[in-house]
Structure 1
Amino acid sequence: MTPTTPPEGSEQLMEQLAHAAACYYRSFAVVAGGQGLTLIQGKLLGLLQRPLPMRALAELLGCDASNITGIVDRLEGRGLVRREADPADRRVKVVVLTSEGEGAVQRIRAEITAGLPGLARLDAEGRRELSELLARAFSTGGA
């Protein structure tokens, strides 16, 4: 197999994306820690915009399903999430964000946004363009 040469500028873009991701996750870890959460607990809460099965959470977080059980146990113990039977399949448990969990997610997002002033410097058009570029660059679709 012949290695392909990345398009010109791709390596620089990858470096910029890696830097952006590192800045975001460093900020996220600090902010989540301020809420008494680990990075993975904060990430899990942020994924729960709708109830999700434990297995789906494991896939989204890139970890083993058995790890999710312990994470959810700790979050449930703090009243941030609860488990419910999936209405479509009562054998499956879904994780649901509680109102306390929603509050934690809102505080984390607000503090991260405040801690990343570069995003605030973008006007509405710049944010729209960046959003579209990210969606195109990381699309899992065929187009």
Structure 2
Amino acid sequence: MSLSTARPDPLTVEVEDLIGTVVARYYEEYERAAARHALTGPQARILALLTPAPLPMRQIARALKCEPSNVTGMIDRLVARGLVERRLDQDDRRVKLAAATERGAAISRHLRESLDFARVPLAGLTDAERLTLRDLLRRMLA
């Protein structure tokens, strides 16, 4: 029997459930924090993606796992609010980039700083425990 078709053991099931609960809590808190800024969760995630550097629409769509046409509408709404601006890519002038404005980046940073659900319990772990957790999560995602 291959690993993918093997019946999961109780410990694996418990770990999967815990991961699911952590993800659900993260998104619940993220949605609440976004709503305080009159943003949807996906709009807030776009701001988070754009805060480090401008991105093309297709790359944003891939990161959000949605169609580029959906991203265009969300970007339009963020542009109308002065949180995002469109720019031409200097390397390929056919490509339009979306970039967070200063105000959009500030809101994105505030959202990130307001997510306490994981920060509080993580603070109770030692540096070594947080490093181990980080490394295990990286291995799972590799």
Deviates more, 1:44-53 or 1:15-24: 44-53
RMSD of equivalent CA atoms? 1.8
- CA distance in 2: counterparts of 1:6 and 1:118, whole angstroms: 31
Match of 2:39 in 1: 37
Give the gaps of 5 or more residues in structure 2: none
User: Partner residue of 2:94?
Assistant: 91
Which whole-Å CA distance do the structure 1 matches of 2:71 and 2:15 have between them? 33
Partner of residue 128, structure 1 = 131
Aligned to 2:59: 56
**Displacement after TM superposition at 1:6 (Å):** 5.5
Counterparts in 2 of 1:4 and 1:115: CA distance versus 1, 3 Å: closer
Mapped partners of 1:115, 1:77: distance in 2: 31
Residues 21-76 of structure 1, C-alpha deviations (whole Å, 9 max, x = no match)? 00000000000001111011011111122211101101110111100011001111
Distance in 1 (CA, whole Å) between partners of 2:130 and 2:85 is: 34
Aligned residues: 138
Question: In the alignment, is residue 67 of structure 1 matched against residue 66 of structure 2?
Answer: no
Cα pair 2:87 2:96 within 8 Å, conserved: yes
How much does 1:135 deviate? Answer: 1.0
TM-score for the superposition, normalised by structure 2:
0.88
Quote the residue 1:19 is aligned against.
Answer: 21
Q: How far has the Cα of 1:7 moved from its partner?
A: 5.9
Partner of 1:95, secondary structure, is strand
Deviates more, 1:123-132 or 1:14-23: 123-132
1:101 deviates by: 1.1
1:4 aligns with 2:2: no
The percentage of counterpart residues that share the same residue type is 36
Kindly report which structure 2 residues correspond to 1:104-123, keeping only aligned pairs within 5 A, or say none: 104-112=107-115, 114-116=116-118, 117-123=120-126
- Of stretches 73-82 and 19-28 in structure 1, the one that deviates more from structure 2 is 73-82
| Structure 1: gaps (5+ residues) | none
